[in-house]
Structure 1
Amino acid sequence: MTDPSADTDSLGEALKAITVSTELIEEELQPHLDTLLQNLLDKKEGAAVQICRSGILPTLAQTLRSKSPLSCQVALVVAEMAREAAVRESCIQADLVKELLPYLHSDNQEMLLNTGRAIGRICFDNAQQQEQLVQSSVIPRLLSIMREYPENDPLLNVCLLALCNLADLDSARAALASLDVAAVLTTQLKRSPDAERRHLILEILGSLGESETLKLQFAESGVPEALSQMIWALQGESDPMTSAASKSPPILLYESMQKCFGEGSGVVYKDVLLWLQSSNTQLQLSGALAIANFARNDCNCVKMLELGVVHHLLTLLEQHVDEGDVSVQHAGLSALRNLAIPGTNKVRMLQDGVTERIKSLLRSDMPPVQFKLLGTLRMMVDGQEDAALLLGKDSVLLTRVMEWCEAKDHAGVRGEASRLLAALIRHSRSPYALSHRLYEVVCAVTRAQGIKPLITMATSEHVIMQNEALIALAIAAAIDIGSNWTPMAAKFDLRPTIGHRCP
């Protein structure tokens, strides 16, 4: 067994020999560098700090500056040493980054690899140094290396990590805007050998997508199509990082949603419809998230409804009612809610029986699903008297909503349940007259003990909720429940009190 003290002694002797050297003779320096490197590769505790404190960093910088044949080994020593955060500032002060930068233009792939690792580790989480790297034209060089050596996976990983660390800088995005970064990333996305690489590329795309210029570049360079292909390829993968990667693309894809949608004929949109119909949960989730993003545009909502996407979403939701995937239910309801925003869609969805079909989710015990279901139903009845009347007289629905009005552990569910009760009353009347059907809704809500949550809601800290509750209570108060169905508005003109503004 190797004696640990022997390794420590050998490291100390090597450092002392380098320190006392007056000339950098390669034959003499080589074995000492070997000793330093071996200690670092063996992860000897305190080795990096010991090397840093020995005072040899200027010697290493001088070796790099002199273009010595040992430069590649020195770069590797620095890279291994810079794994330790405690030595990075000393490396910067010794000008090691400055001396390493020219080696990024080497045609030696090992030199590029060692240099990239050394610079990346020294500058990790150091905004000032990263800005200086951008100003030193590191960005175009990283892309050039990726184009020159597309099959060198270790080198590609180093370049991608560097881009990932720099991608949040405005200066880096500005530098990339004039370069064809989309083509480079798309190429690598298509050939990514593992989930870690895919995840890294997705992080870069997500950060760079904050730039409007780069977002447009991505849309025009096939990034959405490449992401779509990647999602297909991930079917059945169980690796956690792969699973996370399959959930990220919808957000990236639909930054360029109009191009992807293509009036319902886009390749990516057609893929999304197939994801919804897949038996793979990850694909179903990606599909539902995608539709929710497409549905942020009213024109898209109307077109998708015409193309029958609601049927696919409802079928998907029904598959996950009992012991299904909560994320899929949540995403599917988000998509339905967005689709129901345009007024013309509400009527069509009501005619298609959407409200009846999604009521099957009332059985859910998951607060995120309950919250989204309540919001979806509220959006469905917004401005739609028929929908409000249909749901407002449903005793099963009202019973469940009342249970959620008492949800102790989820304020969001309580709030949405109360808002739905208010919406059922507010939208169950014609604009200018109180009706027999409104009387039935108010009676049903009253029988379900729904007035108390509305009173509580009227004291909410949120003004919108206060107004909604007060309007619903004013409408309910205008109904003389003790008589047949005669509205008190027949005796007193209460229309000003039940408008859209409260006095």
Structure 2
Amino acid sequence: MDISPMLECLRAANCKTDKVKAINSILDVFEGTQKEEETDDIAERLTSEGILDDLINVSGDEDTLASVGQLLAELAKNESVRVPCVEKGFIPILLKVLERQDDIDRMTQACRALGNICFDNDIGRAKVDEDDGISILLTLLNSLLGNTKSGTDKLRTIACGFLLNLTNSNETLQKKALEEDALNLIAKYLKNYETDERLCNMVLLTIASLTDSEMCKEKLFASNLCQSMVDFLQTPTGEDQYESVLDILITLSEWDEVKDLLAQTDLCKQLIKMAQVTLGENAEYSEDNQQKVKMSSDLLILLLTGEKSMEILFDGGKGEIFSESMTWLDSDEQHLQLCGALAVGNFARSDEHCQFLVEQGVIKRLLRLLKPVYGEQKCTLEHASLSALRNLAIPAGNKASLIKEGVIDAVLVLVDSEMLAVIFKMLGVLRMLVDGQDDAAVKLGQHREFVTRLVEWSACEEHPGVKGEATRLMAWLVKNSRAEDVMRNIIRADGIPFLVAMATSEHIVMQNESLVALTLIASTVLADAALPLKEADILDTITQLLKADETLPEIKCNTLTLTRTICSSAVPQMSQSLPCRLLACTGLLPYAGKALREDLLSSSIPDVIRQLTEHDDEKVKIAAKSVIPVLEDTQPVDR
């Protein structure tokens, strides 16, 4: 199509009517073109032939501004035209139209043009900012609240679109909009125009843009936006925009303060109602419905991750979401089962809650979820159920109840799982259950196959969590059972090297657990453990812990206790009439234990211990002095 004649007509026009007629003829070309590639081509051709200069020249006539704005809006749909529009000086002209607020059609087309020029164009945005465009636009949006003039419905939607394009991903303009109370303004739009689907959709997109920044946080709490979105969900339009609203609320709920705000609204009741209606007996299955259920339950669980919001929703065990989570555990819908398990795990964050949950019979429900499950959510469901069981097993008063319910045997079914995330949680449950429960520790420690797997997991480099939990559980089995056969099972399975390595962990609690377990092993079954201890370089570990300045006093004391135990346990009990050296020479003292003791005594460890008798920490000093007599009573045998 030859566009030159149309440009000539525009350039030759002397009156307002001819100018508008010429511009409209060019607009007709755009309207008659369906394909985006063709409109882009037309925009580029017009620009290359000087259309922007022509439009600047005619924009001095106010009566042509609506048509100029409309044509600019079409041209600026093409990315290559946006910066030239800025450079030609259109932004101040268009903003002036918005500032005067004297004609709905002019303002509509000016907003369209400005919105398109600023789309993904920081040069255009910067110019709008330079000319105080945020204030002008927000003033316009405020003035349109309650305005019933013809055409204002369309203008409201387009002005919101301009705000979206202006601030999207632009922190400077987002900040200015937020400082000028944009959140409360768009909250009013959501409330006042809840039946206008197009406007509400644009408002939601703008909310998502403005709230996707840390700077929004403070302003959000001072606004009515959260409540407005919750109220909007109850409207017919809100139901149609359900996923968009929830997507925003899920993003906002990353902040604990927002969780607390939302927990005090009717949001949870609406989310529960959505899940009930969507999955009711007469509900029609669809992927859309399933997505709504997923988003509803995901948001509910997210609200439970906050401390205050969780307490609000628990409500002493009377909260609606708590009751519903019990129902979800009994559901045949895997996603609801998952949400039920996640909810219980989040509620089980205090001893009081844990006791209440166990009294409500939650254990049997959770164990049901550990039975064979198929599908993509199998691992996730097992993981969530085990997480809940672990939390429930933490309070001392609950452990016996869980053991009685058969939790140990139930979780051991997962021992062959290939999912390391599931193994990690399984080990956590078992570690909590053996704490202070000697019978459970003995039962688990006597399970040779399990102990073998436990040692294998202690070498799991691809999942540090599994490796740490396995080694800790091994130490806890020793500490809580204090049984020789448990310790020997660990020794036979080659678990000693991992306990020794654990003594130099970066975590103090794990260091202590290791030293306690090694001390118990040395005092109980040193004859069996001496050679594995030696091969695991226990003496190097002891030396490292005692010499290092950064080793905490508590760790030094426990290391000294281990040292004393190795020396004293390597000396057999005897009658007063039978000297120790005679026993050693006649071979009555187990060779491995004797060899370990002699290696220790001939190492630098005794000298390090003597130095520690002058340590600044009084407890270390006392512990070191307590080892000296044992060292002197067990000097190496002369042969």
The answer to whether TM tops 0.5 is yes
Counterpart AA for 2:355 = V
Pair 1:63-2:110 in alignment:
no
Deviations 1:363-407 (A, max 9, x none): 210111111111121111122222211211112211221221222
Q: CA deviation at 1:179?
A: 5.2
- Within 5 Å, give how 1:422-437 maps onto structure 2: 422-429=475-482
The 1:180–1:57 alpha-carbon spacing in structure 2 relative to 1, beyond 3 Å, is: closer
The 1:174–1:454 alpha-carbon spacing in structure 2 relative to 1, beyond 3 Å, is: closer
Q: CA deviation at 1:237?
A: 5.7
- Separation of aligned partners in 1, 2:267 and 2:375: 36
CA RMSD of aligned residues (A): 3.0
Deviations 1:84-108 (A, max 9, x none): 2333222222332222112212032
For residue 267 of structure 1, the aligned residue among 320, 329, 344 is 320
The 1:395–1:458 alpha-carbon spacing in structure 2 relative to 1, beyond 3 Å, is: same
Deviations 1:25-53 (A, max 9, x none): 22x2333323222233xx42412222122
Q: CA deviation at 1:311?
A: 1.0
- Within 5 Å, give how 1:485-496 maps onto structure 2: none
- Separation of aligned partners in 1, 2:440 and 2:86: 73
Q: Is the contact between residue 442 and residue 476 of structure 1 (CA under 8 Å) also seen in structure 2? A: yes
Pair 1:210-2:256 in alignment:
yes
Q: CA deviation at 1:343?
A: 0.6
Q: CA deviation at 1:291?
A: 1.0
Larger radius of gyration: 2
- Separation of aligned partners in 2, 1:246 and 1:421: 37
- Within 5 Å, give how 1:167-206 maps onto structure 2: 167=211, 174-177=218-221, 180-190=224-234, 191-194=238-241, 196-203=243-250, 205-206=252-253
Q: Which residue of 2 aligns with 1:301?
A: 354
Counterpart AA for 1:262 = D
Pair 1:34-2:70 in alignment:
yes
3-state DSSP of counterpart to 1:478: helix
- Within 5 Å, give how 1:200-239 maps onto structure 2: 200-203=247-250, 205-207=252-254, 209-211=255-257, 215-232=259-276, 238=287
Q: CA deviation at 1:273?
A: 1.3
Deviations 1:412-439 (A, max 9, x none): 211211111111111114xxxxxxxx11
Structure 2's unaligned 5+ residue stretches are 2-32, 280-284, 529-567, 575-619, 625-639
Q: Which residue of 1 aligns with 2:137?
A: 100
For residue 292 of structure 1, the aligned residue among 321, 345, 369 is 345
Structure 1's unaligned 5+ residue stretches are 430-437, 493-500
- Separation of aligned partners in 1, 2:479 and 2:131: 72
Q: CA deviation at 1:354?
A: 0.9
- Answer 1 or 2: higher relative contact order, Cα 8 Å, separation at least 6: 1
Q: Which residue of 2 aligns with 1:469?
A: 514
Deviations 1:166-187 (A, max 9, x none): 4477875555545554442223
Counterpart AA for 1:136 = E
The 1:246–1:154 alpha-carbon spacing in structure 2 relative to 1, beyond 3 Å, is: farther
Aligned-residue sequence identity (percent) comes to: 30
Q: Which residue of 1 aligns with 2:114?
A: 78
- Separation of aligned partners in 2, 1:62 and 1:14: 21
Counterpart AA for 2:194 = P
Q: Is the contact between residue 305 and residue 345 of structure 1 (CA under 8 Å) also seen in structure 2? A: yes
Deviations 1:474-497 (A, max 9, x none): 1011113769xxx969959xxxxx
Deviations 1:238-268 (A, max 9, x none): 4697546643430214532233223333221
3-state DSSP of counterpart to 1:480: helix
- Separation of aligned partners in 2, 1:320 and 1:97: 55
Counterpart AA for 1:146 = L
Q: Which residue of 2 aligns with 1:138?
A: 182
3-state DSSP of counterpart to 1:46: helix
Which is further off, 74-83 or 118-127?
118-127
Pair 1:351-2:404 in alignment:
yes
For residue 89 of structure 1, the aligned residue among 126, 133, 136 is 126
Q: CA deviation at 1:442?
A: 1.0
- Separation of aligned partners in 1, 2:340 and 2:405: 21
Q: Which residue of 1 aligns with 2:173?
A: 129
- Separation of aligned partners in 1, 2:286 and 2:230: 21
- Separation of aligned partners in 1, 2:74 and 2:375: 58
- Within 5 Å, give how 1:341-490 maps onto structure 2: 341-429=394-482, 438-480=483-525
- Separation of aligned partners in 1, 2:524 and 2:108: 87
Q: CA deviation at 1:307?
A: 0.4
- Separation of aligned partners in 1, 2:181 and 2:262: 22
- Separation of aligned partners in 1, 2:322 and 2:229: 22
Q: TM-score, normalised by structure 2?
A: 0.68
3-state DSSP of counterpart to 2:474: helix
- Separation of aligned partners in 2, 1:261 and 1:237: 31
The 1:313–1:144 alpha-carbon spacing in structure 2 relative to 1, beyond 3 Å, is: same
- Separation of aligned partners in 2, 1:136 and 1:91: 16
Q: TM-score, normalised by structure 1?
A: 0.86
For residue 7 of structure 1, the aligned residue among 43, 48, 70 is 43
- Separation of aligned partners in 2, 1:335 and 1:21: 71
Q: Which residue of 1 aligns with 2:544?
A: none
Q: Is the contact between residue 83 and residue 121 of structure 2 (CA under 8 Å) also seen in structure 1? A: no
- Separation of aligned partners in 2, 1:405 and 1:378: 14
Counterpart AA for 1:394 = H
Which is further off, 89-98 or 236-245?
236-245
Pair 1:247-2:291 in alignment:
no
Q: CA deviation at 1:14?
A: 3.8
Aligned length: 478
3-state DSSP of counterpart to 2:168: coil
- Separation of aligned partners in 2, 1:146 and 1:194: 12
Which is further off, 196-205 or 236-245?
236-245
Counterpart AA for 1:47 = V
Q: Which residue of 2 aligns with 1:50?
A: 84
- Separation of aligned partners in 2, 1:75 and 1:22: 15
- Separation of aligned partners in 2, 1:313 and 1:417: 23
